[in-house]
Structure 1
Amino acid sequence: MISAIGLIAGLGLLILLTMRGVHIIIAATVSAALVAITSGVAMMPPFADADAPDYVTAYMRGFTGFFADWFFMFLLGAIFGEVMSASGAADSAAKFIIERLGVRYAVLAVVAACAALTYGGVSVFIVAFSVYPMAVSLFRDANLPHRFIPAALCFGSVTFTMTSAGSPEIQNLIPIEFLGTTAMAGWRVSAVVAVLLAITGYIWLQRMVGRAVANGETFEGALGEHVERDEGPLPHPILSLVPLIIVLAAFNLTDDMLGKYALVLALGLGTLAALAIGWRHRMQMPKAFGVGATGAVIAITNTCAVVGFGTVAQLTPAFQQALGVVTAIPGDPLIGAAIAVTVICGLTGSASGGQTIALPLIAPGYIDAGVEPGELHRVAALASGALDSLPHNGYVVTTIRAICGETHARAYGPVGALTVILPLVGLVLAVGLFIIF
Structure 2
Amino acid sequence: MISAIGLALALILLIWMTVRGVNILLAGPIAAAFVALTSGIAWLPPLAGEGAPDFATAYMKGFTGFFADWFLMFLLGAIFGEVMGASGAAASVAQWVVRKIGIRHAVLAVVAACAVLTYGGVSVFIVGFAVYPLSVHLFREADLPRRFIPAALCFGSVTFTMTSAGSPEIQNLIPMQYLGTDAYAGWQVSLVVALLMAGLGYFLLDRMVKRAVARGERFEHRPSDDTVDADRHLPHPLLCLLPLVVVLAVFMVFQYPQTLGPVSALLPGASLGKWALVVALGAGTAIAVLIGVRSRGTMPAAFSRGATGAVVAITNTCAVVGFGAVASLSPAFQMALDAVQHIPGDPLIGAAIAVTVIAGLTGSASGGQTIALPLLAPAYLAMGANPAELHRTVAIASGALDSLPHNGYVVTTVRAICGETHHDAYPAVGVLTVLVPILGLAVAIGLFSLT
TM range (shorter): 0.7 to 0.9
Matched residue SS, 1:433: helix
C-alpha displacement at 1:14, in angstroms? 0.5
Q: Assess if the C-alpha contact under 8 Å between 1:112 and 1:156 holds in 2.
A: yes
Matched residue SS, 1:107: helix
Q: Assess if the C-alpha contact under 8 Å between 2:121 and 2:247 holds in 1.
A: no
**Residue of structure 2 in register with 1:316 after alignment:** 330
Deviates more, 1:393-402 or 1:321-330: 393-402
Q: Does 1:46 align with 2:66?
A: no
* CA–CA separation in structure 1 for the residues paired with 2:221 and 2:355: 39
CA 190–232 in structure 1, closer or farther in 2 if over 3 Å, else same: closer
Residue type at the aligned position of 2:340: V
* CA–CA separation in structure 2 for the residues paired with 1:11 and 1:127: 28
C-alpha displacement at 1:408, in angstroms? 2.7
Q: Could you tell me the TM-score, scaled by structure 2's length?
A: 0.81
CA 36–271 in structure 1, closer or farther in 2 if over 3 Å, else same: farther
* CA–CA separation in structure 1 for the residues paired with 2:131 and 2:291: 13
* CA–CA separation in structure 2 for the residues paired with 1:182 and 1:417: 30
* CA–CA separation in structure 2 for the residues paired with 1:86 and 1:177: 34
* CA–CA separation in structure 2 for the residues paired with 1:292 and 1:175: 26
* CA–CA separation in structure 2 for the residues paired with 1:222 and 1:385: 35
1:106-131 superposed Cα distances (whole Å, 9 cap, x missing partner)? 32233223333444444433444444
**Residue of structure 1 in register with 2:276 after alignment:** 259
**Residue of structure 2 in register with 1:63 after alignment:** 63
1:119-155 superposed Cα distances (whole Å, 9 cap, x missing partner)? 4444433444444454444444444444333322322
**Residue of structure 2 in register with 1:382 after alignment:** 396
**Residue of structure 2 in register with 1:216 after alignment:** 217
* CA–CA separation in structure 1 for the residues paired with 2:38 and 2:396: 32
CA 188–101 in structure 1, closer or farther in 2 if over 3 Å, else same: closer
* CA–CA separation in structure 1 for the residues paired with 2:277 and 2:99: 36
CA 222–73 in structure 1, closer or farther in 2 if over 3 Å, else same: farther
* CA–CA separation in structure 2 for the residues paired with 1:39 and 1:152: 40
* CA–CA separation in structure 1 for the residues paired with 2:372 and 2:233: 50
CA 121–294 in structure 1, closer or farther in 2 if over 3 Å, else same: closer
Matched residue SS, 2:53: coil
1:249-283 superposed Cα distances (whole Å, 9 cap, x missing partner)? 5655667565343365246425624642435xx4x
Q: Does 1:408 align with 2:409?
A: no
1:364-419 superposed Cα distances (whole Å, 9 cap, x missing partner)? 44445444444333322322221122122233233333444444333322221111
Q: Assess if the C-alpha contact under 8 Å between 2:11 and 2:361 holds in 1.
A: yes
Which one of the candidate residues 361, 365, 381 is aligned to 1:351? 365
Q: Could you tell me the TM-score, scaled by structure 1's length?
A: 0.84
Q: Assess if the C-alpha contact under 8 Å between 2:83 and 2:285 holds in 1.
A: no
CA 290–230 in structure 1, closer or farther in 2 if over 3 Å, else same: farther
Equivalent residues, number: 432
1:277-329 superposed Cα distances (whole Å, 9 cap, x missing partner)? 435xx4x6776666655544443332332222112112212111110111112
Matches within 5 A, 1:420-431: 420-431=434-445
Q: Assess if the C-alpha contact under 8 Å between 1:81 and 1:132 holds in 2.
A: no
Share of identical aligned residues, percent?
63
Residue type at the aligned position of 1:102: G
Which portions of structure 1, spanning 4 or more consecutive aligned residues, are displaced by more than 6 angstroms?
228-231, 284-287
CA 51–129 in structure 1, closer or farther in 2 if over 3 Å, else same: farther
**Residue of structure 2 in register with 1:435 after alignment:** 449
Q: Assess if the C-alpha contact under 8 Å between 1:93 and 1:134 holds in 2.
A: no
Q: Assess if the C-alpha contact under 8 Å between 2:351 and 2:394 holds in 1.
A: yes
Residue type at the aligned position of 1:157: S
Q: Does 1:327 align with 2:341?
A: yes
**Residue of structure 2 in register with 1:234 after alignment:** 233
Matched residue SS, 1:278: helix
* CA–CA separation in structure 2 for the residues paired with 1:176 and 1:419: 23
CA 251–435 in structure 1, closer or farther in 2 if over 3 Å, else same: closer
Q: Assess if the C-alpha contact under 8 Å between 1:244 and 1:270 holds in 2.
A: no
C-alpha displacement at 1:8, in angstroms? 0.9
Runs of 5+ consecutive residues of structure 2 not aligned to the other structure: 256-270
CA 40–263 in structure 1, closer or farther in 2 if over 3 Å, else same: farther
C-alpha displacement at 1:31, in angstroms? 0.9
